[in-house]
Chain A
Amino acid sequence: DAGVIQSPRHEVTEMGQEVTLRCKPISGHNSLFWYRQTMMRGLELLIYFNNNVPIDDSGMPEDRFSAKMPNASFSTLKIQPSEPRDSAVYFCASSGGEASGRNEQYFGPGTRLTVT
């Protein structure tokens, strides 16, 4: 299996622009998680889905952030409009399925976002 796939790996954009991050979970996994990691705040859970349904979005910082999971193999995290304080590394992770143990998450390589 290719593991969790994220794109792009790096994104540089100007303040006010829309940013879309993409994630393909491991096939057969039924839970998907979006995290943000910064030096100041560490690793933060933004939102997670079970069976494509958002379960907990309490970590989403504000309305500028939105996430969707239209099917079991694809999710997006959108920031509109972007601000410099959104600069961070965004990770996607997935869990579930017979191959993984109960609840352990597998992480993608992350997207490094820089907003100037």
Chain B
Amino acid sequence: AQSVTQPDIHITVSEGASLELRCNYSYGATPYLFWYVQSPGQGLQLLLKYFSGDTLVQGIKGFEAEFKRSQSSFNLRKPSVHWSDAAEYFCAVVGSSASKIIFGSGTRLSIRP
């Protein structure tokens, strides 16, 4: 069965510091992978997606993620965070023949001034 694990419930980083949010997935074939961001009081917004090809994908707001099949990971990175990046981040996976997305439990990011 498909599953997504986000091992970090809450992370705090200083403004201007680099960020890496972890995501591990479980899926038998090549998955479709997503990162979503949810700002307080808002819906989920798609940051980036991986379907195939280049394993390093670029997204909006300066985020990127790298698909590593050998580690079943799809970690989200940003070289320098801004206070506006404080939000909840969700990793998600879906099989190629399915419509339903499986979401991770989310990682809450706080930014230290």
- Measured between beta carbons, the chain A residues less than 8 angstroms from B32 are 102-104
How many A-B residue pairs have C-beta atoms within 8 angstroms? Tell me.
Answer: 50
B98 interface hit (Cβ, 8 Å): yes
The majority secondary structure among interface residues of chain A is strand
Measured CB to CB, the residues of B under 8 A from A are 32, 34, 36, 42-46, 49, 51, 90, 94, 96, 98-101, 103, 105-106
Contact B46 A104 (CB under 8 A): yes
A95 interface hit (Cβ, 8 Å): yes
- Measured between beta carbons, the chain B residues less than 8 angstroms from A45 are 100-101
Chain A residue nearest to B94 (CB atoms) is A103
Sample of 17 A–B contacts (CB below 8 Å): A4-B43, A42-B106, A43-B90, A45-B100, A45-B101, A48-B100, A56-B100, A91-B44, A95-B99, A103-B32, A103-B94, A104-B46, A104-B49, A105-B44, A107-B45, A109-B42, A109-B43
Choose from A4, A48, A104 the contact partner of B34 (Cβ within 8 Å). A104
| A108 to B46 Cα, complex, angstroms | 12
**A43-B103, A107-B45 known; 20 other A-B pairs, CB under 8 Å?**
A4-B43, A33-B100, A42-B103, A42-B106, A43-B44, A45-B101, A48-B99, A50-B99, A91-B44, A93-B44, A101-B49, A101-B51, A102-B32, A103-B94, A103-B99, A104-B32, A104-B46, A107-B44, A109-B42, A110-B43
Chain A residue nearest to B48 (CB atoms) is A104
- Measured between beta carbons, the chain A residues less than 8 angstroms from B94 are 103
Near B by CB (< 8 A), chain A positions 33-47 give 33, 42-43, 45
Choose from B43, B45, B51 the contact partner of A102 (Cβ within 8 Å). B51
A64-101 interface code vs B (CB 8 A; 1 in, 0 out): 00000000000000000000000000010101100001
Top 4 closest A-B pairs, CB basis? A107-B43, A107-B44, A103-B94, A109-B43
- Measured between beta carbons, the chain A residues less than 8 angstroms from B103 are 42-43
Chain B residue nearest to A95 (CB atoms) is B99
